[in-house]
């Protein structure tokens, strides 16, 4: 028996392992190929997808192209034209630099690269299967490069199994392409799925137009410009008007030196920049470009290059926070009026400079820091006398205290309503009927492409639980009817929150319908902090009584706590 068990792995296996890091799903291939096209100085990039990328992904550009030798070299591991020394590694100006993407992708697919530097000399086409070159020829092509990737993971069946549904995989692609459309506002992009035109943004569409196209008009109409500039740090883009927030952080899109990144420092600074205007659990929107010296960021901390590290995190944090802060203040001063804040939120005072916030007409603006504290720290209550002389209290607009002859029942209003709606929606699905309320004026909602793709998948389910939705052209939908139980609520917001949550689903969730019902119940339910009328309290408690499982919400949190006399006596050790 040989004396050593450790072997140096073959090139083939090394490539496959590395492909595991770079290529997680079809969308990762799209990301790497488009990055290469951008690095090659293209003006127009076209992305054609078949079967959500599971069948094929083809990216064509009009960039620099590659010579015949380079075309072949490009698929070797650690081959790149973008850096050559470790100095370069600290001063990266391109999106790619690891020299791994094409090698990794080609090792787990069938790939053809066609590239041309000068159309008179023709183009080189190289085809690889599982990383091995199987064909090389000269063909005709304009200057630029086309890379086609077919049968991703054909030789690693275990990974193919991890593909999600077409809708999910394609929504990831839409998301990735959307980021590029925003990141490179001077470049034309086309995204085609099968025979469907998903995006076509032309060079004359500016950032605002593109935000409307990618993230929805509704969001685009609620933005203000942000700008900041000093020696270290330049920043521009858009952030949401105070009062416009979303349920998920997904609509905080940051580009650092044109690279889309996810970064907690930036999210935190943004949040803080809004003073305390943002409700807990909601997120302001941002499409922000940061330009910083390349040696001030480390982009080499994540195989897919999605995360970065700032050399000096706290400076970046404070400058960004300051920029947001100023933008909000100026906006408030300029508009000089209430600007669609959430109902009770008023503009807070600055700690430093009280006089800086006078309205243009000279009157001081009233400030209110108390809203959140009022809900979460102080105790407040409203009292209602019932017909039988007993009382209800609504504590902190959150808990309903029902004083009965022999006990006190405390109900969490959100959890209770969630439980009621959950059972109602489940029943509607079982029996195929639900009480609907037609809207006099249909609510129009503008959605992002990604939302529309998800919504189209779930239209039937929405219909069963009472949402009548009609496609209203390119990017918007009309809500014609809602579940009767939701009348007089802000349907549009509820609906958008439901969609935001559905987007996060899909990861190994066996029963999607069940999950969506839970989401719909949670998002449609009254919230902690909502003031209820006596009738609303009565109907909530009555409906809860009729529930099959009134004790926990669908997320298994308690709905009601009861304290009876016996319990009190026990607690005070009277018996
Ligand atoms: P990286 O982008 O990190 O350098 P890749 O494996 O993605 O590594 O690409 C390898 C090389 O192939 C690049 O450095 C570039 O020189 C060349 N290349 C890839 N795609 C294109 C393209 N679309 N146009 C021109 N050159 C390309
Ligand atoms: Mg690359």
pLDDT score recorded for residue 172: 94
Does position 509 have pLDDT exceeding 70, yes or no? no
CA–CA separation, 20 vs 12, rounded Å?
A: 13
Q: Which residue has the higher pLDDT, 297 or 275?
A: 297
Most confident of 315-329, 375-389, 481-495: 315-329
Does position 38 have pLDDT exceeding 50, yes or no? yes
Reported confidence tier of residue 154, pLDDT bands at 50, 70, 90:
very high
Pocket of ligand 1 (CB under 6 A): 32, 36-37, 40, 61, 63-66, 74, 79-82, 96-103, 145
Hey, whose CA ends up nearest to atom 2 of ligand 1? 96
For the stretch 46-69, pLDDT in tens is 999 999 999 999 999 999 999 999
Q: Which atom of ligand 1 is nearest to the CA of 94?
A: 2
Q: Which residue has the higher pLDDT, 444 or 30?
A: 30
- Report how far ligand 2's centroid is from the alpha carbon of 35 (Å): 6
165-169, 230-234, 362-366, 487-491 — which is least confidently predicted?
A: 362-366
CA–CA separation, 202 vs 181, rounded Å?
A: 10
pTM for this structure?
0.67
Does position 536 have pLDDT exceeding 90, yes or no? no
CA–CA separation, 556 vs 353, rounded Å?
A: 47
Nearest Cα to Cα of residue 422 among 538, 549, 248: 549
Tokens, residue 512: 């999607």
What is the percentage of the chain residues whose pLDDT exceeds 70? 88
Question: Which of 15, 35, 98, 102 is the pocket-test mutation for ligand 1 (most atoms within 8 Å of CB)?
Answer: 102
Q: What sections of 189-230 are H helices per DSSP? A: 207-215, 217-220
- Report how far ligand 2's centroid is from the alpha carbon of 103 (Å): 10
pLDDT score recorded for residue 193: 95
pLDDT score recorded for residue 294: 87
Question: Which of 18, 32, 74 is the pocket-test mutation for ligand 1 (most atoms within 8 Å of CB)?
Answer: 74
Nearest bound ligand to CA 78?
A: 1
For the stretch 303-337, pLDDT in tens is 777 788 898 889 999 999 999 988 988 887 776 54
CA distances from 73 to 77, 100, 418, 461 (A): 9, 11, 58, 50
Question: Which of 80, 104, 112 is the pocket-test mutation for ligand 1 (most atoms within 8 Å of CB)?
Answer: 80
- Report how far ligand 2's centroid is from the alpha carbon of 95 (Å): 7
pLDDT score recorded for residue 19: 66
Do residues 207 and 182 lie in contact, with contact meaning Cβ atoms separated by under 8 Å? yes
Reported confidence tier of residue 289, pLDDT bands at 50, 70, 90:
very high
pLDDT score recorded for residue 16: 73
Question: Which of 36, 63, 107 is the pocket-test mutation for ligand 1 (most atoms within 8 Å of CB)?
Answer: 36
- Report how far ligand 1's centroid is from the alpha carbon of 477 (Å): 41
Reported confidence tier of residue 368, pLDDT bands at 50, 70, 90:
very low
Does position 274 have pLDDT exceeding 90, yes or no? no
pLDDT score recorded for residue 1: 55
Do residues 167 and 189 lie in contact, with contact meaning Cβ atoms separated by under 8 Å? no
**Element (DSSP H or E) covering residue 140:** none
- Report how far ligand 1's centroid is from the alpha carbon of 104 (Å): 12
pLDDT score recorded for residue 510: 59
- Report how far ligand 2's centroid is from the alpha carbon of 116 (Å): 17
Nearest Cα to Cα of residue 300 among 104, 100, 102, 28: 100
CA–CA separation, 492 vs 446, rounded Å?
A: 10
Reported confidence tier of residue 204, pLDDT bands at 50, 70, 90:
very high
Q: Which atom of ligand 1 is nearest to the CA of 64?
A: 25
**Average pLDDT of the segment spanning 491-501:** 81
CA–CA separation, 127 vs 106, rounded Å?
A: 9
Tokens, residue 280: 């807990």
Reported confidence tier of residue 440, pLDDT bands at 50, 70, 90:
confident
Nearest bound ligand to CA 145?
A: 1
pLDDT score recorded for residue 267: 92
Q: Which residue has the higher pLDDT, 564 or 21?
A: 564
Q: Which residue has the higher pLDDT, 413 or 463?
A: 413
Does position 341 have pLDDT exceeding 50, yes or no? no
In the chain, what is the straight-line distance between the N-terminal and C-terminal CA atoms, in Å? 78
pLDDT score recorded for residue 417: 92
Does position 357 have pLDDT exceeding 70, yes or no? no
- Report how far ligand 2's centroid is from the alpha carbon of 354 (Å): 51
Three-state DSSP at 193 gives: strand
**Element (DSSP H or E) covering residue 344:** none
Backbone angles phi and psi of 36, in degrees to 5: -65, -40
pLDDT score recorded for residue 515: 79
pLDDT score recorded for residue 377: 58
Does position 354 have pLDDT exceeding 50, yes or no? no
For the stretch 106-130, pLDDT in tens is 999 999 999 999 988 889 999 999 9
Does position 338 have pLDDT exceeding 50, yes or no? no
Which distant-in-sequence residues (6+ apart) come within 8 Å of 120 by Cβ? Answer: none
Backbone angles phi and psi of 432, in degrees to 5: 60, 35
Most confident of 77-86, 274-283, 410-419: 410-419
pLDDT score recorded for residue 339: 39
Nearest bound ligand to CA 92?
A: 1
Does position 2 have pLDDT exceeding 70, yes or no? no
Per the listing, tokens 């890091």 go with: 21
Reported confidence tier of residue 352, pLDDT bands at 50, 70, 90:
very low
Tokens, residue 59: 């990216």
- Report how far ligand 1's centroid is from the alpha carbon of 80 (Å): 6
Does position 359 have pLDDT exceeding 50, yes or no? no
pLDDT score recorded for residue 125: 96
Hey, whose CA ends up nearest to atom 7 of ligand 1? 101
pLDDT score recorded for residue 299: 83
Nearest bound ligand to CA 35?
A: 2
Which distant-in-sequence residues (6+ apart) come within 8 Å of 143 by Cβ? Answer: 62, 64, 65, 116, 117, 118, 119
- Report how far ligand 2's centroid is from the alpha carbon of 262 (Å): 19
Q: Which atom of ligand 1 is nearest to the CA of 79?
A: 10
**Element (DSSP H or E) covering residue 296:** none
Nearest bound ligand to CA 105?
A: 1
CA–CA separation, 159 vs 452, rounded Å?
A: 28
Question: Which of 35, 38, 39, 97 is the pocket-test mutation for ligand 1 (most atoms within 8 Å of CB)?
Answer: 39
For residue 30, the number of C-alpha atoms closer than 13 Å in the C-beta half-sphere is 33
pLDDT score recorded for residue 340: 37
Do residues 409 and 402 lie in contact, with contact meaning Cβ atoms separated by under 8 Å? yes
Nearest Cα to Cα of residue 31 among 193, 175, 182: 175
């Amino acid at each position: 028996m040989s004396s050593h068990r450790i072997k140096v792995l073959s090139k083939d296996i090394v490539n496959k392992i590395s492909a595991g890091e770079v290529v997680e799903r079809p969308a990762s291939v799209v990301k790497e190929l488009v990055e290469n096209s951008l690095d090659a100085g293209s003006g127009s990039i076209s992305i054609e997808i078949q079967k959500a990328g599971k069948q094929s992904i083809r990216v064509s550009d009009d960039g620099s192209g590659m010579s015949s030798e380079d075309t072949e070299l490009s698929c070797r591991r650690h081959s790149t034209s973008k850096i050559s020394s470790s100095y370069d590694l600290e001063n990266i100006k391109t999106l790619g630099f690891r020299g791994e993407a094409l090698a990794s992708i080609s090792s787990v697919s069938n790939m053809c690269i066609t590239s041309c530097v000068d159309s008179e000399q023709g183009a080189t086409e190289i085809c690889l299967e599982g990383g091995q070159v199987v064909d090389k020829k000269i063909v005709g092509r304009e200057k630029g490069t086309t890379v086609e990737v077919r049968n991703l993971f054909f030789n690693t069946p275990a990974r193919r199994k991890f593909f999600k549904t077409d809708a999910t995989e394609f929504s990831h692609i839409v998301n990735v392409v959307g980021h590029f459309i925003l990141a490179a506002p001077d470049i034309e992009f086309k995204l085609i799925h099968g025979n469907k035109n998903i995006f076509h943004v032309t060079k004359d569409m500016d950032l605002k137009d593109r935000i409307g196209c990618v993230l929805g008009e509704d969001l685009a109409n609620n933005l203000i410009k942000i700008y900041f500039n000093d020696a270290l740090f330049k920043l521009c883009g858009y952030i949401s008007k105070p009062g416009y927030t979303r349920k998920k952080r997904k609509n905080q899109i940051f580009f650092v030196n044109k690279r889309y990144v996810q970064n907690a420092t930036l999210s935190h600074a943004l949040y803080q920049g809004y003073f305390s205007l943002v409700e807990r659990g909601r997120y302001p929107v941002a499409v922000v470009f940061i330009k910083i010296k390349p040696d001030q960021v480390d982009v080499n901390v994540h195989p897919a290059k999605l995360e970065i590290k700032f050399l000096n995190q706290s400076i970046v944090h404070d400058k960004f926070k300051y920029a947001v802060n100023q933008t909000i203040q100026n906006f408030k001063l300029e508009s000089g009026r209430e600007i669609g804040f959430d109902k009770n939120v008023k503009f807070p005072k600055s700690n430093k400079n009280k006089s800086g916030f006078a309205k243009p007409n000279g009157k001081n603006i009233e400030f209110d820091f108390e809203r959140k504290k009022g809900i979460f720290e102080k105790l407040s209550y409203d009292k209602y006398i019932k017909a039988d002389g007993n009382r209800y209290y609504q504590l902190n607009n959150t808990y309903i205290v029902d004083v009965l002859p022999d006990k006190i029942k405390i109900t969490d209003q959100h959890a209770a309503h969630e439980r009621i709606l959950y059972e109602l929606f489940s029943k509607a699905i079982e029996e195929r009927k639900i009480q609907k309320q037609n809207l006099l004026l249909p609510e129009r909602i503008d959605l992002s492409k990604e939302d529309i793709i998800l919504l189209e998948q779930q239209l039937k389910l929405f219909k069963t639980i009472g949402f009548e939705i009609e496609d209203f052209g390119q990017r918007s939908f009309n809500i014609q009817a809602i579940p009767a139980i939701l009348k007089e609520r802000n349907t549009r917001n509820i609906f958008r929150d439901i969609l935001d949550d559905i987007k996060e689903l899909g990861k190994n969730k066996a029963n999607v319908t069940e999950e969506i019902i839970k989401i719909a119940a949670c998002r449609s339910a009254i919230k902690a902090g909502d003031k209820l009328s006596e009738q609303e309290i009565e109907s909530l408690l009555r409906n809860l009584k009729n529930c099959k499982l009134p004790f926990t919400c669908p997320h298994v949190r308690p709905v009601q706590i009861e304290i009876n006399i016996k319990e009190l006596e026990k607690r005070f050790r009277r018996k």
